[in-house]
Amino acid sequence: MYQHEEVNLLDMSLKCFVQEIGVIRSKLDEADYSTWRLLADAYFKAGMLYKIMDDVEEAIEHLSKALDYTKQCSDEDSHRLATITDALGMLYASREEFDEAKKYYSS
C-alpha cells in the first residue's frame, strides 16, 4: 500500500466516524445509556484516528468526550478507560503540557 492510499483510507474512516457521531446525536436520546456507549465508541475511534494523523487538538477533543461518555456508563470498561487516559496523557506530553499529562497518567 502506498503512503497516499493509507492517508486516503484514514481520511475516509475519519469522515465515517464523524458522521456516525452526528447521526447518533441527531437520532438517539442522549439521556439513554445505550446512546452513551455508542457515542463513547464513536468519539474514541475518531480520537484515535486524529492521534494517528497527528492532529493533537482534535484527538484531545474527541478522546476527552470519549472519556466523559465512558465514565457515564454504569459498566465502565476499565481497559477502554486506561487506553483513553493513556492516549490523552501522551497527547498532552507531546505538547509539553506535563502537568495536564500527569493528571491522566495518575487517574
Q: What is the mean pLDDT of the chain?
A: 89
pTM: 0.86
Q: What is the mean pLDDT of residues 71-88?
A: 85
pLDDT at 34: 86
Residue 61 has pLDDT above 90, yes or no: yes
> CA-CA distances (angstroms) from residue 79 to 76, 82, 99?
9, 5, 23
Q: What is the mean pLDDT of residues 24-34?
A: 86
Residue 64 has pLDDT above 60, yes or no: yes
Higher-confidence residue: 62 or 76? 62
Distance (Å, whole) CA 29 – CA 58? 25
